[in-house]
Amino acid sequence: MLETDGIPPRLNNQVCEAIICQQYWYRGKLAQEVDALSLKVNGRWHQLYFDAGVVFWRMRSEGPVPAEHKPDDPFDFPLVDLGEQFDIKGCLITDCVTEPVIGGARVSMSFEDKGTLVVTHSDSETRLRFIAA
């Protein structure tokens, strides 16, 4: 059963102004490919994250800010600009679907003429993939 906390934004037929992924690294190793995903549409920031199979959507007043990482700190939360990486910044979001999967949920966002960004949370792990058009 799919459980959502917060109100999912209406993304269909909206322009993706920015999309940034916050990763979680521990002791120099990738621990969580997607800790949180921040998406800007219509001048507003929306944050997507998962916990225990629940899909969380939150509005944010501003976009993600890089966390300061000290050399002796085992935790790191770098930001990855997916808009630049997959050339989807400024593209029209043609579809956004949230669906249950075994042990979690999946959110798929399709971008006109570019492809689909798929974020899957299952068994306490969140993964990202981009399927080019």
Question: pLDDT per residue over 2-41, tens digit each?
Answer: 899 999 999 999 999 999 999 999 999 999 999 999 999 9
Whether the pTM exceeds 0.85: the reply is yes
Over 80: is that where the pLDDT of 1 sits? no
pLDDT number for residue 68: 87
Percent share of the chain, pLDDT over 90:
88
Task: List the domain boundaries for the chain.
Answer: 3-132
Over 80: is that where the pLDDT of 124 sits? yes
Q: Regarding beta strands 3-5 and 54-60, do their DSSP bridges make them parallel or antiparallel, or are they unpaired? A: parallel
The string of DSSP letters for 86-131 reads TT-TT-EEEEEEEEEETTEEEEEEEETTTEEEEEEEETTEEEEEEE
Quickly tell me which residue has 């007043």 as its tokens.
61
Name every residue whose Cβ is closer than 8 Å to that of residue 62 and which is 6 or more positions away in sequence. Answer: 45
In sequence order, the β-bridge partners of residue 30 are: 25
